[in-house]
Amino acid sequence: MPVHRPRTPALRRPRPVAAGVLLAALALPLALPGPASAAGDAAGVPARGTARMGQGVIAHDGQGGGTPSVPRAVQTEGVDVSSHQGNVAWQTLWNSGVRWAYVKATEGTYYKNTSFTQQYTGSYNVGMVRGTYHFATPDTTGGAAQANYFVDNGGGWSRDGKTLPGVLDIEWNPYGAQCYGKTQAGMVAWIRDFVNTYKARTGRDPVIYTATSWWKDCTGNNAGFGATNPLWVARYNTTVGELPAGWSFYTMWQYTSTGPTVGDHNRFNGALDRVVALANG
């Protein structure tokens, strides 16, 4: 009798995957938990810590053309710098007529300028009167906490004729909602906590850097700081324009972000002896 062997079922070969489907699958982003990384995200939000003075001025407030009109009073040229500039050519700036500088020291309670030493000591070594500024992020921690962080990390003051009072840089939020999710009253309270704490720590009223349009939107054009805090106004145009409520004059004016050597250039509303007077308190 013939021997009947059981039939072995044929092994099925896997069906080929269309090349287009495979490529599409490989292109899908991986879903990672948690917030965006420190390097920013694909939507164009910059990394935390990278904010700098005047970052939102052109986008939100515009930029005029030409050279600022000649003021009636003598004014003194200055610059502001952050880690974006790295090592700054201070001697070149001095030779061009720059006599004062502000250096970013801190942001929030999470960032210290990685180029701080070269910028702060370098400006001093060429003879400039210099100070430091804090980029405020009112949505991360309170005003008092940020003022303390600033003072503890480069924002202090001494009566040596070369150290300007610290600056609260309060402007458009590069990381989210322009007013940091605060009501106008809430923003005013945050600023008040910062300036009061800074004065308690240093004996000086800090300068407030802002733009008129931001101040109107986010504080309701509050007039409560003009009597105590010098104003540094941002306006990229040939004239300074309208000032925020409470201030009848500006102490400093950031008029461009496209200056030579360092982009951000400013004018102090007075001769060099008035810059020294502000340093001395």
Q: How many CB atoms lie within 10 A of CB 242?
A: 11
DSSP class of 84: G
Angstrom distance (rounded) from CA 237 to CA 172: 18
Q: Which token pair is 2? A: 């013939």
Strand, coil or helix: 169:
strand
Residues near 66 by beta carbon (within 8 Å), at least 6 away in sequence: 238
256's enclosing H/E stretch is: strand 252-256
Contact 242, 202 (CB under 8 A): no
What are the residue numbers of the active site? 80, 169, 171
Amino acid, res. 42: A
